[in-house]
Amino acid sequence: MFILGLTGGIGSGKSAASAYFRDQGIVVVDADIVAREVVEPGQPALVAIEERYGAEALLDDGTLNRPWLRAKVFAEPDERKWLESQTHPRIRDSIIAQLKAATSPYAILESPLLYESGQSELVARTLVIDVPEEIQVERACSRDGNEEEQIRRIIAAQMPRSERLQKADDAVDNSGNLEALYSQLAPLHQSYLQLT
């Protein structure tokens, strides 16, 4: 099966782009959703996180304290590396299984860390959703309620925009509205159908 990798920095509009493809009947495997699944209560990754950080890493209901962990790993790069060593192999295994089960003409792996995590090896072609950094910050702050400083740390931890664009097979500018985004995605969808 032809698999497309869809990526972009935080606040770039990956979700809006993947929603467009879903509306066309394409199966989208979202690495962020898979990443949440591997740290659900009872999963080995969550057990390892609790062992390393203690009860502070968990909420009262036993689920992962995401804001606390996000602040910790983006402030301490070594902790981010440790966390990735616990989660990335499990995420990869689940992604592969879900992509293999896809029944649409092609499938999409949506991942903010497509290149950084090595997930780009799972895809035949990549599409980057791109916006200038100031738009990333503005959108991510308004959407997530995060502080600008934290969003900028996340951007700094991700692959630089210029490098992401250089690696991309295809790129769209999502600085405008949804209609402008969809008008760029429609011909790409047709070309991906032809590649299958």
Q: Are 8 and 155 in contact (CB under 8 A)?
A: no
Helices (H), 24-56: 31-37, 44-53
The CATH number for 143's domain is 3.40.50.300
Annotated binding-site residue? 12: yes
Distance (Å, whole) CA 191 – CA 196: 9
Predicted TM-score of the model (pTM): 0.83
Q: Which domain holds residue 112?
A: 3-195
**Neighbour count for residue 150 (Cβ, 10 Å):** 17
Q: How confident is the model at residue 116 (pLDDT cuts 50, 70, 90)?
A: confident
Annotated binding-site residue? 15: yes
Give the pLDDT confidence score for residue 140 in this predicted structure.
87
Give the pLDDT confidence score for residue 74 in this predicted structure.
84
Average pLDDT over residues 37-47: 95
Q: What is the pLDDT of residues 156-184, one digit of tens each?
A: 888 999 999 999 999 999 999 999 999 99
Number of domains in the chain: 1
CA angle 25, 26, 29 (to 5 degrees): 135
Amino acid at 42: G
Annotated binding-site residue? 145: no
Give the pLDDT confidence score for residue 144 in this predicted structure.
66
Percentage of the chain beyond pLDDT 90 is 77
Average pLDDT over residues 66-84: 92
The set of residues, in sequence order, having a beta carbon less than 8 Å from that of 107 and lying 6+ positions away, is 1, 2, 3, 4, 26, 27, 28, 29, 99
Check residue 46 and report its DSSP letter. Answer: H
Annotated binding-site residue? 11: yes
pLDDT for residue 149 is more than 90: no
Token pair recorded at residue 155: 């951007």
